[in-house]
Amino acid sequence: MKGIRQLAEHLAISIGTVSRALNGRPDVNEETRRRVLAAAEALGYVANQSGRSLRQGETKVIGLMIESSAEAVENADNFFLGVTSGLQHVFTRHKLDLLMLPCPSDEDPCEYLKRMVARRVVDAMIISNMQRVDRRVDLLSRARIPFIAVGRSLSAGNFPWIDLDFEGVAERAVERLVARGHRRIAITAPSSEVNLGYVFVESYRRALEQHGLPFDPSLVIRVKSSEQGGYQAAHELLLLEDRPTAVILIYELMAIGLYRRLMESGVLPGRDLAVIGFRDAPRARFLQPSLSCFRMSLYDLGVALGQMLLARMPAYREFYSEAGGNMIWPLELVAGESDAFQLTEA
Amino acid sequence: MKGIRQLAEHLAISIGTVSRALNGRPDVNEETRRRVLAAAEALGYVANQSGRSLRQGETKVIGLMIESSAEAVENADNFFLGVTSGLQHVFTRHKLDLLMLPCPSDEDPCEYLKRMVARRVVDAMIISNMQRVDRRVDLLSRARIPFIAVGRSLSAGNFPWIDLDFEGVAERAVERLVARGHRRIAITAPSSEVNLGYVFVESYRRALEQHGLPFDPSLVIRVKSSEQGGYQAAHELLLLEDRPTAVILIYELMAIGLYRRLMESGVLPGRDLAVIGFRDAPRARFLQPSLSCFRMSLYDLGVALGQMLLARMPAYREFYSEAGGNMIWPLELVAGESDAFQLTEA
DNA sequence: CTGAAAGCGCTTACAG
DNA sequence: CTGAAAGCGCTTACAG
């Protein structure tokens, strides 16, 4: 089946009526609609998206931009696939399709986005991996493309985002460790300019302050957000003169490499060093001793992102309360054995 | 900047000339072309994709279908992000964009694909997660959409695919284990209808045969392709009456769960049980003792997939030799300590 | 309730 | 080398 014209000819009615029937317009005879739908089904007709998009000025596609940098490829823990389900749950109701736009690692993310937006392949965008200063925010704002970001950024005053509750994580982790007698608490931070690193370190600094503990820059260990980074972090940690008694990790998979390096040196997590991980990851669940970490539902985050995005789109606004511009996504502590010991005064 | 019309007005020339200049047609005055390109750049004009697609009958988009089932979300080891880079490397040359089409977990993959194809959002498709009988092959063949599959299937006589060398993996794994004195060699297989499970088990059966070993169905342990599956596999393996002395794993991350369960029972991989993993995964590199497994380049696989796909597309055929319909992708053995011991006669 | 027609933004024969 | 015009497949006021 080629186009609507062929379908109309086959039914011996006009293309206008076919279109109206297919699109559920009320002003169509029910018998006619039935015939049209049956014929479309039988002949496998589905409207050409380019034709629709061109006419309607919208594509019915939402884009999720992801970056396939070498680091991401090696280490991403399928954060996005998880979020995707939740997003689709929301979008499906409105017959919107979600497409993932992978930015090639050798292309500037902002240029890539500009190209995709200008070509009008999507009606709205979800961006993530927010940088401290992120030109994409400006780009999308100026182009008036509805968008939502997974993560805060210093860029622009006011744009919609949902970010993980790094403050809460840092606060509860520090509190928990302090309660167990720790005074020298290290933290890992990403070596890149991704904004969450800054947010996390700052939250940690404030949490220490609340407990009257000094902030020691040498305890902020900057490494790649990967298992290798975790290994490296443990390595650096072991070399510190006045070795910390606890460490808080920023990235879910770091724990695996960290454990490995610690054990090579006979340092046992949960006995010689308290470890608190970040997001609960399936891969990390098998760690021994079990890792204290924070849990969240990627699916629910996806749903929230989807709803907040649609609330910004004129065509769907009515279905969703604006619900403010942005949101801090809570994480729940999952207590493990990796920080269960009480530190005895050395 | 809205459309080509505005750009043409601004330059006081016709839209035809603007289009030709932008598309690099030779029949344009160089001075004119320069002006057009400069204005487009300055005003941020990029051709609306719907307009182009409609006129040209092609979208310049290649789709990569991925399935975001719960299992995939939990466990996929970013196979696709890795392949993506290689694909883009090939597509970029032809100004083709790669989009990932995530099939919602509650939608039938074949229906989803049908919808995407009928809407004409892509010019060609890459499909994967091939089922034993996969209706998508038929669908795409009949719709005459160029496509390539990552994986074989029993469906249809002749369609283009690249699959991993399960035969070679099974052969070399068995050979290696036999050389170390093993006679009872277990294997894990996926519990689903995914075709690679069948291929792998059959290859294993043949490899045993070559060494005069009997095929014992109880040594084929069917579990989910995940870490949890690996844990489960170890559990079942330990319960076997005549316990095997070696096991070959089908999925990269299984090793993590398997190690965990073995160690809980005081069974040490590489001493009490020989283990050979499948694809080398970053996460598995930290296993202790180090895992013998097979390595491949996802990037190179992506390049090969991209080239083979373009060879099937009339518009790009000339740049690529057809190079046969399909291909077995080799994997290289990475020897570790998990199977390094010689089995002494019990 | 239905049909005829316009037009979304582009590219491309066709004239000149 | 450039312009005017047709037409890709749709949807949607507008008549009737």
Mean pLDDT of A22-35: 89
Question: Among all residues of chain A, which has the CA nearest to that of B46?
Answer: A118
> Is A54's CB less than 7 Å from nucleic acid strand C?
yes
**Which pLDDT score is estimated for B58?**
87
Question: Among all residues of chain B, which has the CA nearest to that of A111?
Answer: B44
DSSP class of B58: -
Q: Is B180 exposed, middle or buried (0-12, 13-18, 19+ CB in 10 A)?
A: middle
Residue A50 and residue B59: Cβ atoms within 8 Å?
Answer: yes
In chain A, which among 225-244 make CB contacts under 8 A with chain B?
Answer: 226-228, 231
Question: Among all residues of chain B, which has the CA nearest to that of A85?
Answer: B104
Q: Is the pLDDT of residue A72 over 80?
A: no
**Which pLDDT score is estimated for A277?**
92
**Which pLDDT score is estimated for A210?**
95
Task: Give the residue carrying structure tokens 């970056």.
Answer: A67
**pLDDT single digits (tens) A287-300:** 888 899 999 999 99
Q: Which residues contact A126 (CB under 8 A, 6 or more apart)?
A: A62, A63, A64, A65, A87, A147, A148, A149, A150, A305, A309
How many angstroms separate the Cα of B107 from the Cα of each of A85, B69, B110, B158? 11, 10, 8, 27
Shortest-distance nucleotide from B8 CA to C1': D3
**pLDDT single digits (tens) B29-70:** 888 999 998 988 888 888 888 898 889 888 889 999 998 665
> Is B340's CB less than 7 Å from nucleic acid strand D?
no
Are A185 and A219 in contact by the 8 Å Cβ rule? The answer is yes
Q: Is B144 exposed, middle or buried (0-12, 13-18, 19+ CB in 10 A)?
A: exposed
Mean pLDDT of B120-136: 91
**Which pLDDT score is estimated for B81?**
82
**Which pLDDT score is estimated for B222?**
94
Are B86 and B301 in contact by the 8 Å Cβ rule? The answer is yes
Q: Is B98 exposed, middle or buried (0-12, 13-18, 19+ CB in 10 A)?
A: buried
**Which pLDDT score is estimated for B251?**
82
Q: Point out the residue among B74, B78, B253 whose CB comes nearest to the CB of A73.
A: B78
* Cross-strand pairs, B220: B187
**What token pair was written down for B165?**
């060398």
Are B43 and B1 in contact by the 8 Å Cβ rule? The answer is yes
**pLDDT single digits (tens) A320-345:** 876 667 899 999 999 999 999 998 86
**What token pair was written down for B103?**
């099939």
Determine what percent of chain B is predicted with pLDDT higher than 90: 54
Least Cα distance to B227 among B200, B250, B254 occurs for: B254
Which of these ranges, B154-163, B202-211, B268-277, has the smallest mean pLDDT?
A: B154-163
The crossing angle, in degrees rounded to 10, of helices A15-22 and A4-11 is 100
Determine what percent of chain A is predicted with pLDDT higher than 90: 54
Residues of A in contact with B65 (CB under 8 A): none
What amino acid occupies position A199?
A: V
> Is A334's CB less than 7 Å from nucleic acid strand C?
no
Q: Give the pLDDT band (50/70/90) at residue B150.
A: very high
Are A200 and A187 in contact by the 8 Å Cβ rule? The answer is yes
Q: How far, in Å, is the CA of B33 from the C1' of nucleotide C15?
A: 22
* Cross-strand pairs, B171: none
Containing B223, the helix (H) or strand (E) segment is strand B220-223
| Residue A294 C-alpha, separation from nearest chain B C-alpha, in angstroms | 16
Q: How far, in Å, is the CA of A115 from the C1' of nucleotide C12?
A: 24
> Is B29's CB less than 7 Å from nucleic acid strand C?
no
Determine what percent of chain A is predicted with pLDDT higher than 70: 94
**Which pLDDT score is estimated for B220?**
96
| Residue B178 C-alpha, separation from nearest chain A C-alpha, in angstroms | 30
Are A276 and A184 in contact by the 8 Å Cβ rule? The answer is no
Residue A102 and residue B88: Cβ atoms within 8 Å?
Answer: yes
**pLDDT single digits (tens) B177-232:** 999 999 999 999 988 888 888 999 999 999 999 999 999 999 999 998 888 889 99
> Is B73's CB less than 7 Å from nucleic acid strand C?
no
Using CA atoms in the order A168, A171, A177, A182, what is the torsion angle rounded to 10 degrees?
A: 160
Tell me if chain A has a CB within 8 Å of the CB of B298: yes
**pLDDT single digits (tens) B163-184:** 999 999 999 999 999 999 999 9
* Cross-strand pairs, B124: B62
The CATH homologous superfamily to which domain B166-295 belongs is Response regulator (3.40.50.2300)
> Is B55's CB less than 7 Å from nucleic acid strand C?
yes
Q: Is the pLDDT of residue A283 over 80?
A: no
> Is B32's CB less than 7 Å from nucleic acid strand D?
yes
Mean pLDDT of B110-137: 90
Q: Which residues contact B3 (CB under 8 A, 6 or more apart)?
A: B48, B51
Query: Of the ranges A159-163, B113-117, B222-226, which is most confident?
Result: A159-163
Mean pLDDT of A290-319: 91
**Sign of the torsion angle spanned by Cα atoms A193, A196, A199, A205:** negative
Mean pLDDT for all residues in chain A: 89
Class of domain B4-47: mainly alpha
Query: Of the ranges A116-125, A254-263, B161-170, which is most confident?
Result: B161-170
* A228 vs A307: which has the higher pLDDT: A307
Mean pLDDT of A202-206: 95
**pLDDT single digits (tens) A165-179:** 999 999 999 999 999
Containing B85, the helix (H) or strand (E) segment is helix B79-93
Q: According to CATH, where is 3.40.50.2300 located in chain B?
A: 61-159+298-329, 166-295
**Which pLDDT score is estimated for A102?**
92
Strand order of the β-sheet with B274-279 is: B220-223, B185-190, B246-248, B274-279, B292-295, B332-334
Q: Point out the residue among A82, A104, A286 whose CB comes nearest to the CB of B260.
A: A286
**Which pLDDT score is estimated for B126?**
97
**Which pLDDT score is estimated for B125?**
96
d(CA B53, CA A45): 18
**Which pLDDT score is estimated for A81?**
82
Q: Is the pLDDT of residue B72 over 60?
A: no
Shortest-distance nucleotide from B2 CA to C1': C9
Looking at strand C, which nucleotides approach a protein CB closer than 7 A?
Answer: 1-5, 7-13
Q: According to CATH, where is 1.10.260.40 located in chain B?
A: 4-47
Q: Provide the H-helix boundaries in chain A.
A: 4-11, 15-22, 30-43, 49-56, 70-75, 79-92, 109-118, 135-143, 166-179, 195-210, 227-239, 254-264, 298-311
Q: How far, in Å, is the CA of A163 from the C1' of nucleotide D11?
A: 39
Residue B118 and residue A46: Cβ atoms within 8 Å?
Answer: yes
d(CA A224, CA A202): 18
Mean pLDDT of A179-192: 93
Q: Which residues contact B129 (CB under 8 A, 6 or more apart)?
A: B66, B67, B109, B150, B151, B194
**Which pLDDT score is estimated for A99?**
94
What amino acid occupies position A4?
A: I
Q: Give the pLDDT band (50/70/90) at residue A248.
A: very high
Using alpha carbons only, what angle is made at residue B168 by residues B163 and B169, rounded to the nearest 5 degrees? Answer: 90
* Cross-strand pairs, B345: none
Q: Is B90 exposed, middle or buried (0-12, 13-18, 19+ CB in 10 A)?
A: buried
Class of domain A61-159+298-329: alpha beta
Q: Give the pLDDT band (50/70/90) at residue A71.
A: low
